[in-house]
């Protein structure tokens, strides 16, 4: 077997395949097998992040949206527009502790418009 593949290379491979239309399950199985064989299971969360990164580079973005109440369709469209990529998939999290507003996290960027964040910032600024 050839030398250690970097996470970036691995992620790019997965992203390419998925974009080419290959069934994601088969690619994922392949990568899982590779990680087991090379004893790199501990890197799994990072590999997932890298895959999301690589997909984002190709215009496919998985965004985590946190809000206090479930999103309405209009809001969902607005969030998708904000992310600005061709294909946006939303992973929706409802968390009452954010009080209001939304927090959007994409692999390499974030936007925090929650009331919770503003309160924290106010506290830090000691107004």
What does the alpha-carbon distance between residue 48 and residue 78 come to, in Å, rounded to a whole number?
A: 26
Q: Do 107 and 61 touch, CB atoms closer than 8 A?
A: yes
Q: Terminus-to-terminus CA distance in the chain, angstroms? A: 60
12 binds other proteins (CB under 8 A): no
Phi then psi for residue 100, to 5 deg, are: -165, 170
Q: Do 10 and 48 touch, CB atoms closer than 8 A?
A: no
If one counts every other C-beta atom within 10 angstroms of the C-beta of residue 16, the result is 13
Residue closer to other proteins, measured from CB, 18 or 54: 54
Residue closer to other proteins, measured from CB, 29 or 110: 110
What does the alpha-carbon distance between residue 94 and residue 61 come to, in Å, rounded to a whole number?
A: 20
Site for other proteins in 21-40 (CB under 8 A): none
Residue closer to other proteins, measured from CB, 92 or 112: 112
Site for other proteins in 51-110 (CB under 8 A): 53, 82-83, 104-110
111 binds other proteins (CB under 8 A): yes
Q: From the CB of 87, what's the least distance to other proteins, in Å? A: 16
Select from 14-22, 25-33, 47-55, 94-102 the region that touches other proteins (CB under 8 A).
47-55
> Binding residues for other proteins, per CB under 8 A?
6-8, 46, 49-50, 53, 82-83, 104-112, 118, 121-122, 124-125, 127
């Amino acid at each position: 077997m050839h030398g250690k593949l970097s996470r970036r290379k691995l992620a790019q491979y997965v992203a390419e395949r998925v974009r080419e239309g290959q069934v994601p399950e088969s690619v994922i199985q392949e990568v899982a097998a590779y990680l087991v064989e090379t004893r790199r299971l501990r890197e799994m969360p990072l590999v997932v992040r890298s895959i999301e990164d690589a997909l984002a580079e190709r215009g496919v973005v998985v965004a985590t949206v946190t809000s206090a109440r479930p999103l309405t369709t209009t809001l969902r469209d607005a969030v998708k527009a904000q992310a600005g990529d061709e294909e946006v998939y939303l992973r929706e999290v409802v968390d009452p502790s954010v009080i209001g507003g939304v927090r959007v996290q994409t692999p390499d960027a974030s936007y925090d418009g929650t009331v919770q964040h503003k309160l924290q910032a106010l506290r830090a600024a000691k107004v």
